[in-house]
Amino acid sequence: QNSMVLSAAIFITLIGLIIYLHFVKIDQESLLVIGSLGMKDVVINEAIHMQKVVYYLCILLQDPGDPQGVSEVVPLFQSSKPRLDCLIEVYKSCQEILEQRKTALQSS
């Protein structure tokens, strides 16, 4: 019975974090503002920290001098450190927004 309560608590926390990240941390307006500054892509990166693999979401900024190059890598959620499955959900949403933006720019 305790494991069932613990599983439910983890599930509710995960759903809450996904909703929070989707609607509060990364919304379309803020992503489009960053995009107008020369955002090239959004990626999930990994690092090893104290014998643990840590995943983080990064924005790649386009190099003004080289259209194929990256001038800066900006990590997001530096203080919250969400789990990989949460980052994947946010990554998918970001890629959808970037695709919409790309389509809108091509049609105009």
The predicted-structure confidence for 21-75, as pLDDT tens digits, reads as follows 666 555 444 555 455 556 788 889 888 888 888 898 888 887 778 878 887 888 8
Report CA torsion sign: 15, 20, 26, 28. Answer: positive
Are 47 and 78 in contact by the 8 Å Cβ rule? The answer is: no
Say whether pTM exceeds 0.95: no
Residues 87 and 74: their CA atoms lie apart, in Å, by: 15
3-state secondary structure string, 53-91?
EEEEEEEEEEECCEEEEEEEEEECCCCCCCCHHHHHHHH
* Cα–Cα distance measured from residue 44 to residue 59, given in angstroms and rounded to the nearest whole number: 9
Strand-pairing partners, residue 105, are none
